[in-house]
Amino acid sequence: MLAACASADVPAGSALRVVLEGVEVCVARADDGTVHAVNDLCTHGEVSLAEGEVLGCAIECWLHGSAFSLETGVPESPPAFEPVAVYACDERDGTVFVDPTTTK
């Protein structure tokens, strides 16, 4: 796992775009405080999901409104129908770690 960001960089209900080993990753903290990592590109419009809004345990694309589950990557609303990759993610000692080569 690679250090992606400081825990403080991702407060509850927010998201942050990071690039790890050439992979664009959206690190998001759900409203319940859990940290998740998904591929940053919306499968519908190919725009950054990190620029969208965290809604509970989903992230909504700012361009067309598709929301993706942060746990499974599955779209919860149209127009997207393809899931985004979900990466192994861990938080310890004030740092968020992500493995951009391992999908859940």
Mean pLDDT within 75-90? 96
Q: Residue for token digits 């310890």?
A: 92
pTM over 0.85: yes
CATH of the domain at 98: 2.102.10.10
Range of the domain at 84: 2-103
pLDDT tens-digit series, residues 6-59: 999 999 999 999 999 999 999 999 999 999 999 999 999 889 999 999 999 999
Give how many domains the chain has, as a whole number: 1
Sheet holding 58-60, edge to edge: 53-55, 58-60, 67-69
- The one-letter amino acid code at 6 reads A
Band (100; pLDDT cuts 50, 70, 90): very high
Task: Report the alpha-carbon distance of residue 6 to residue 34 in Å, rounded.
Answer: 14
